[in-house]
Amino acid sequence: MAWFGSKGAAAPGMGRVESWMKIFFGDAFITAVTTEDELAAALPGRAYSCIGQSHSYNGIQVIPGITALHMGQSQFKQCTYDPVTETATCGPSLKIVELKQELLKHRRKMLNSGNHMEQTVIGALTGGTHGYGAQAVIAQSVVALTFLDGWGKKVTLTQGDPDFPYAALSFGTIGPIISVTMRTAPLESYQSDAWITRLSKKAALARGAVAVTAAFVPYSDPTDPLIMLHTLRPASAGKAARQSGSSIFSLKGLTEFLLRQLWAFDRMVPTFRYWLQRAANRLDLRSHKRIITAEDDLDYLYDPDPGLKTQRAPSLLTGFFTTTYTAYNLAFFVPIDRTEEVVRFIMLEAAKLRSLGFVLKSMISIRELADASDLPFAGNYGQPVSAIDLFADVRDYAWLERLQRAVTSYFPEARPHWGKSAIVDDFAPALGADHMAALRALHQRHYPPGTLSPNEAVRKLFDLGDPVAGASIAKATAI
């Protein structure tokens, strides 16, 4: 699915650039190129940004009034695998799913991935996309990259270069990135376990898992919330698929079914969103499902059932009602040892907002990034963290920004997700002045004013020069 749309009135020669779910938008001169020489020639002498097949909710690549180089529509789909180094090198138009399919031919896989495989590989890298478990941030697997500077000249950085950690995860401050080389891993089968249980049982059930994610039922008991827990372990001999739970013909079974389909149920009858969760909490549901994933499953992290969803019988509910396509998603990272405190705080704050007509959509999703990254702007820089994802109806997205502000006020260690957080000054202390200065210096060294232009929120946070002429603040202060 394209990251931008063409709907809406625009000046001649311009098209509409939109964030996922269309909350943020602006008109830009959308340009696709076919060759590297054509791309290099298009850069000097103009302000530009790079867009693609992304999955960013916060409009980080919406920069109005300038040239938007559409790397997703350009045909830079090169992808090669080196069996000696066990690395893959790919271009800026290649999608995650296409890279996975190519690696499968060599019995290899990505180290980790997000849940939306239609985004481009480089878009996922630069935006901080992550999965969960070890080496969860996709950019952590990069060992080399090549980008074009503001004069259209190639610059190649490799691990060990002082600038490399800043360029590898740079959220629109470095670009276009025209090539990345990434580490890969051998294929592996996993034991995937999914439970409906209580938070108090999580530690015991997740013991020994290599990857853990949990979805908290936001209007259950905050002292011991109802959760949907998912763990992965390497598959071992003697373990087989299994499933347990209540009969669908019982009240517990019916509520359990509705809870598993909450993404559909709360879309169709949002009035009952809160009451379904309260009923599930009162009934104290329990269930367990185990799947042994196939080695060649492309999406075992998020969809452990055999094959891709697109390869199975079509589901109208999946297409019309999943939060990916119906909700605004805001996310941020907190130290893993403070996860439960933060979630309880969010649950209590969200409960107070019900009197104003706001109800969280779906679950509070937690993905554990189990190790530390050395990339300064990764969510898990320096320590393991949990990625916390909040969902709301699109019209209610601003309530999520209010909850984010509340979290950063009381948990200053919170770090931004570059494609989902509201990018605000609150994050500056956690990012660190020295690292912010290093990225600023890297950007200004390679991109003089009037060339690559980052999103206004990023520009302001990192003090990257004047706003573009099409930004509201520039228009408001020009008179």
pLDDT tens track for 19-43? 999 999 999 999 988 889 999 998 9
Which are the contacts of 99, defined by CB distance < 8 A and separation ≥ 6? 79, 88, 90, 110, 121
pLDDT tens track for 198-256? 999 999 999 999 999 999 999 999 999 999 999 999 998 656 555 555 555 565 566 66
| pLDDT value for 282 | 85
Show the 3-state SS of the chain. Answer: CCCCCCCCCCCCCCEEEECHHHCCEEEEEEECCCCHHHHHHHCCCCCEEEECCCCCCCCCCCCCCCEEEECCCCCCCCEEEECCCCEEEECCCCEHHHHHHHHHCCCEEECCCCCCCCCEHHHHHHCCCECCECCCEHHHHEEEEEEECCCCCEEEEECCCCCHHHHHCCCCCCCCEEEEEEEEEECCCEEEEEEEEEHHHHHHHHCCCCEEEEEECCCCCCCCCEEEEEEEEECCCCCCCEEECCCCCCHHHHHHHHHHCHHHHHHHCHHHHHHHHHHHHHHCCCEEEEEECCCCCCCCCCCCCCCCHHHCCCCHHHHHHCHHHHEEEEEEEEEHHHHHHHHHHHHHHHHHHHHHCCCCCCCEEEEEECCCECCCCCCCECCCEEEEEEEEEHHHHHHHHHHHHHHHHHCCCCEECCCCCCCCHHHHHHHCHHHHHHHHHHHHHHCCCCCECCCHHHHHHHCCCCCCCCCHHHHHHCC
| pLDDT value for 114 | 80
Alpha helices in 240-367 (DSSP H): 251-260, 262-268, 273-283, 316-321, 323-326, 339-353
| pLDDT value for 199 | 97
| pLDDT value for 312 | 36
pLDDT tens track for 278-333? 887 888 878 888 989 999 988 877 777 665 454 433 333 333 346 777 789 999 99
Confidence bin at 6 (pLDDT 50/70/90): very low
Query: Spelled out in words, what is the top-level CATH class assigned to the domain 190-426?
Result: alpha beta
Mean of pLDDT values over 56-60: 92
| pLDDT value for 257 | 67
Question: Which tokens go with 85?
Answer: 């180094």
pLDDT tens track for 344-392? 999 999 999 999 989 998 889 999 999 999 999 999 999 999 999 999 9
pLDDT of 8 > 50? The answer is: no
* Bridge partner residues of 56 (DSSP): none
Amino acid at 347: M
Confidence bin at 7 (pLDDT 50/70/90): very low
pLDDT tens track for 109-162? 999 988 778 888 998 888 899 888 899 999 999 999 999 999 999 999 999 999
pTM: 0.90
Mean of pLDDT values over 430-450: 98
d(CA 420, CA 302) in angstroms, rounded, equals 19
